[in-house]
Amino acid sequence: MSRDTLKRDFRDKVAIVGVGTTDFGAMYRDLDPQRSNYQLGLTAFKAAIEDCGLTRDDIDGIFTSRVPDTVRMSEILGIRHPRFSSTLPGGGRYSGLGVQYAAMAVYSGMADTVALIYGNNGRSVGAKYGGDGEGGGPESNSADFDVPYGMTSPGAQYGLMYRRHQALYGTPAEALGHLAINNRNNAMKNPISVMKNPLSMEDYLNTRFIAEPLRLLDYCLINDGAVCIIVTSAERARDLKQPPIYISATQSTSDFTAQYLSDNFYYDSLSSMAPDLFGAAGIDRKDIDFAQIYDNFTPTVLFSLEGLGFCGKGESGSWVTPERISLTGELPLNTSGGHTSESYMQGWAMHVEAVRQLRGECGDRQVANAEFGLYSCTSPVSAAHILRR
Amino acid sequence: MTNDAPYKRPLPDLERKLTQPYWEATKRHELVIQQCDACQHLWFPPSFCCPNCLGEAISWKPVSGRAKIWSWIDMWQMYFRGFADERPYLVAYVELEEGPRLMANLVDIDEERTGLTCDMPLEIVFDDVTPEVTLPRFRPIR
């Protein structure tokens, strides 16, 4: 069978049937240095199986990320003999990839129902991204060739890309402000978000720089929390408590170089993936009702929109107007508040938000009549799904 | 570094065999990067084979030290204590005339960053930061 045939056959055969999260806002103000990623994972797992009406004994596949060891998590949950299991690395790219692995396991019959469990106690234990210890070890080119210059952190790599994007295309500073403000506006309508105070463009432009041209408000939060997602076949999904949210298409792509940054803003990798993704779902970009776009740093959204073809190369800076990206706009973006205002659950909570939007559970921030939603994460490994109700 | 204060910033690992020729060269105030003996491809950072043809016969080729800015940031955040007194500091991703790119600090640029632009031509300067380590940095060709 050709790749196209396979991907058409996969369409809507696997569904997300249960989701669970912690209350990110409540936990942000309640730090606990003893907070365990396993205990966080347990909380989200119970919420997710309750959500779909399954029991622990229905779970025969398990993946964890940032919960350090799937064996320990399974032992805690009393899942003795899962048919398919693995520990994923803790990076944000593994949320989209984890859902892909679960979907492949279900589609191939290797597991019937897979739980994906993510727990992050980063704020309580003082997690840092960059600085001493980053990228160390005897094989580290970064430690030898970047760190002696004070170069560190994924955000600084995004700062370099964004500066270059501005130089090539005249991208205005306000473009990132629109994204940060849109996130905040949405987070203010999200009961479990971390950041709920209003944000103006003036506030944004007055925020301190971290790696100029990027400001503090261009950076993701660091907060504690957990997410669990339950994936099963469309057939089994029909009898469960919630309406199934189908995975219409999913695809990943890569751009592997010596640096985290991509000299084409990931355009080459994303634009090669996009036809596969939309083709496999049998829809066009205009059919997408909202997009949850991984925003570890706000420029990631711009690069993703260009690479996925929502706007032309270099045009994202003027494309992301408040009207277009708001909840009532042409392409509502990051409807939960994204990583800069809802939570930084490294893409996992964005999946949950997509599911809740497609179920119509989002109250004040509900996108009207949402039928198709996009999740995408752009990084050296990018992944994207089209989900539908 | 002309003052006598001990150097407190992170330093490269000089014991790493793969990268030793690079640091031996910078100490001589020479910039060298790896070149494939078979296909003449040049690359950075150092590796075990040519990423173009997978050839493992590799030489270290002296390069001109002329370059241009791909992009730069002003780092305000204090990630390393050794940089506390010089924030914001300039880090650039620099494209060598010969093609490969590397990170480095920019020097001889004023606090207003006057004239700093992407693709600005640069030349290398060698900074003997300790008796053992020399770091390449870059300055504008004016």
ipTM associated with this complex? 0.97
State residue A96's pLDDT score.
98
Query: In the 8-state DSSP scheme, what is residue A346?
Result: T
Contact (CB, 8 A) for B51 and B41: yes
Task: Verify whether the Cβ–Cβ distance B73 to A159 is below 8 Å.
Answer: yes
Task: Verify whether the Cβ–Cβ distance B12 to A263 is below 8 Å.
Answer: no
Burial class (CB in 10 A: 0-12, 13-18, 19+), A120: buried
Active-site residue, selected from the candidate residues A38, A94, A294, A375: A294
Q: Catalytic: A260?
A: no
Kindly provide the residue ranges of all beta strands, DSSP E only, lying in B44-120, ordered along the sequence. Answer: 58-62, 66-75, 89-96, 101-105
Mark which residues 107-166 of A lie under 8 Å from B by CB: 130-132, 138, 141, 143-153, 156, 159-161, 163-164
In 3D, which of A270, A253, A280, A271 has the Cα closest to residue A3? A280
Where do the domains of chain A lie, and which CATH numbers do they carry?
3-126+221-388 (3.40.47.10)
Residues of B in contact with A153 (CB under 8 A): 77, 79
Band of residue B142 on the pLDDT scale cut at 50, 70, 90: confident
Residue A52: HSE in the Cβ half-sphere, 13 Å Cα cutoff: 33
**CA–CA separation, A357 and B29 (whole Å):** 60
The single-letter code of the amino acid at A156 is A
State residue A131's pLDDT score.
82
State residue A139's pLDDT score.
73
Residue position matching structure tokens 């938000």: A353
Kindly provide the residue ranges of all beta strands, DSSP E only, lying in A168-268, ordered along the sequence. Answer: 209-212, 214-215, 225-233, 245-254
Instruction: State the smallest CA–CA distance between residue B2 and chain A in angstroms.
Output: 18
Band of residue B24 on the pLDDT scale cut at 50, 70, 90: very high
Phi, psi of A342 (to 5 degrees): -85, -65
Reading the block at residue A326, the tokens are: 């708001």
Alpha-carbon distances of A55 from A120, A137, A281, rounded to whole Å = 24, 43, 31
State residue B1's pLDDT score.
47
pLDDT per residue as tens digits for the range B88-141: 999 999 999 999 999 999 999 999 999 999 999 999 999 999 999 999 999 999
In 3D, which of A353, A36, A330, A387 has the Cα closest to residue A191? A353
Dihedral, CA atoms, A299, A303, A306, A310, nearest 10 degrees?
Answer: -60
Task: Verify whether the Cβ–Cβ distance A150 to B88 is below 8 Å.
Answer: no
**CA–CA separation, A102 and A82 (whole Å):** 13
Instruction: State the smallest CA–CA distance between residue B9 and chain A in angstroms.
Output: 7
Residue position matching structure tokens 């520990």: A87
State residue A3's pLDDT score.
86
Instruction: State the smallest CA–CA distance between residue A307 and chain B in angstroms.
Output: 20
State residue B62's pLDDT score.
98
Q: Looking at the partner chain, which of B16, B73, B133 has a beta carbon nearest the beta carbon of A211?
A: B73
Q: Catalytic: A344?
A: yes
Mark which residues 81-120 of B lie under 8 Å from A by CB: 82-83, 88-89, 91, 93, 101-105, 117-119
Q: How many CB pairs under 8 A join A and B?
A: 104
The answer, yes or no, to whether residue B5 has pLDDT greater than 80, is no
Length of chain B as a residue count: 142
**CA–CA separation, A320 and A327 (whole Å):** 13
Burial class (CB in 10 A: 0-12, 13-18, 19+), A29: exposed
pLDDT per residue as tens digits for the range A220-265: 999 999 999 999 999 999 999 999 999 999 999 999 999 999 999 9
Residue in chain B lying closest to A215 (CA):
B76
Residues 6+ apart with CB under 8 A from A15: A231, A232, A233, A234, A237, A244, A245, A246, A247
Contact (CB, 8 A) for A120 and A345: yes
pLDDT per residue as tens digits for the range B36-76: 999 999 999 999 999 999 999 999 999 999 999 999 999 99
State residue B93's pLDDT score.
98
Mark which residues 43-72 of B lie under 8 Å from A by CB: 44-46, 70-72
Between helix A93-108 and helix A348-359 the angle, nearest 10°, is 60
Residues of B in contact with A258 (CB under 8 A): 44-45
Contact (CB, 8 A) for B127 and B108: no
Query: In the 8-state DSSP scheme, what is residue A33?
Result: T
Using DSSP, state whether B2 is helix, strand or coil: coil
The single-letter code of the amino acid at B41 is H
Alpha-carbon distances of A215 from A65, A206, B35, B105, rounded to whole Å = 28, 9, 39, 20
**CA–CA separation, B77 and A151 (whole Å):** 11
Residues of B in contact with A209 (CB under 8 A): 74, 76, 88
DSSP notation for B84-105 = GGG-SEEEEEEEETTS-EEEEE
Residue in chain A lying closest to B83 (CA):
A150
The answer, yes or no, to whether residue B4 has pLDDT greater than 70, is no
Phi, psi of A314 (to 5 degrees): 85, -5
Which residue stretches of chain A have pLDDT < 70? 133-138
